Structure 1
Amino acid sequence: MEAYELLPIVALFALVTVEFGGHALLQFLTTRQGTLTPLRERSFRAGHAHAGVLLILSLVYFLYLPQAEFSSSTDWLFGVLLLVGVLAQSGGFFVHLALGSEGRASLGTHLTRAGAVLIAAALIALGVGLVQSL
């Protein structure tokens, strides 16, 4: 099985977890069974939104990946790099929610930044591959 066949399936199932996260956030906001500080609410919303948008981006990425004509191992490398970046960037917001404090960087902040770098690297690699395949 090729990376562009399996990894979109992983992304689709990951979207279900994002949907559940939206439900959890809605429960917090509407039932008041738990309290979220403004920092935690912002982090929860940001992590949830980034995960959803970036997973949709990954589905588009996997449509174009075969057109770059990379080797199978390179497809896997860049596909996994993208998904790890998505997990790191969105997950960093949740780590910051748990460990961070207002106005200070935390492990979550660094994780979010590292995820952004990984996503950028995967996107640039695909862009270069697409240009080279013209």
Structure 2
Amino acid sequence: MLELSDPARVTAGFVLLAAITVTSGGWFLTRVIRGSVSATNFQKSFYRAGHAHAGVLIILGLVCLLLTEATELTGFLQWVSRTGVLVSAILMPAGFFLSALGRGRTRPNQLVVLLWIGALFLIAGLGACGLGLLLAQ
């Protein structure tokens, strides 16, 4: 049986409950695709990308959370390994959705920076988890 530390168990529980909100993004996306919500081609692309990134990064983040339990990481590196990808699962979709908001928008606004901050968390989380696994006894 897989034994999780309390922080990993609590984090996973909250993430699974929060993942329910991804369905609201899917519902919004179906409204955009059906034409119930007007959107430019740019906005449609960014909305699709935001929704896809949310789902994939949540799954990858949960995998990293579980794999971190098999490492000997502590402190900040353990936190980054356990939650870095999950933080990116918030920031990157937010960057896609929020930078595309606005009637008739054809280019991202300044909130596109959230994509790049999220990418940094993604790289840090994957790197910490991967190294932690390779260095584990």
TM-score bracket for the superposition, by shorter chain length? 0.7 to 0.9
Aligned AA (1:124): G
Q: In structure 1, list runs of 5 or more residues that go unmatched.
A: none
Partner residue of 1:58 out of 41, 56, 61: 61
Matches of 1:120 and 1:73, distance apart in 2? 15
Q: Within the alignment, does 1:102 sit opposite 2:106 as a pair? A: yes
Shift of 1:68: 0.8
Deviations along 1:2-33, one digit per CA (max 9) or x if unpaired, are: 32211122221222111221112112322x33
Q: State whether structure 2 residue 18 is matched by structure 1 residue 14.
A: yes
Distance of 2:60 and 2:84 partners within structure 1: 13
Q: Extract structure 1 runs of 4+ deviating beyond 4 A.
A: none
Deviation for aligned residue 1:101: 4.7
Q: Following superposition of structure 1 onto structure 2, how do residues 21-40 of structure 1 map, counting pairs within 5 Å?
A: 21-30=25-34, 32-40=35-43
Change (3 A) 1:80 1:59: closer
Unaligned runs of 5+ residues in structure 2 are none
1:83 to partner: Cα distance: 2.0
Which one-letter code corresponds to 1:109 in the other structure? V
CA displacement 1:39-70 (0-9 Å, x = unmatched): 11111111000000000101111121110122
Under a length normalisation based on structure 1, what TM-score does the superposition of the two structures give? 0.84
> TM-score, normalised to structure 2's length?
0.83
2:84 aligned with 1:89:
no
Between Structure 1 and Structure 2, how many residues are aligned? 132
Other-structure match for 1:43: 46
CA drift at 1:77? 4.4
How far apart, CA to CA, are the structure 1 residues paired with 2:101 and 2:74? 40
**What corresponds to 1:120 in structure 2?**
123
Alpha carbon RMSD of aligned pairs, Å?
Answer: 2.2
Which stretch has the larger CA shift, 65-74 or 119-128? 65-74
Provide the identity percentage. Answer: 30
TM superposition shift of 1:82: 2.8
Partner secondary structure for residue 101 of structure 2? helix
- Structure with greater helix percent: 1
Contact 2:22 2:51 in 1 (8 A): yes
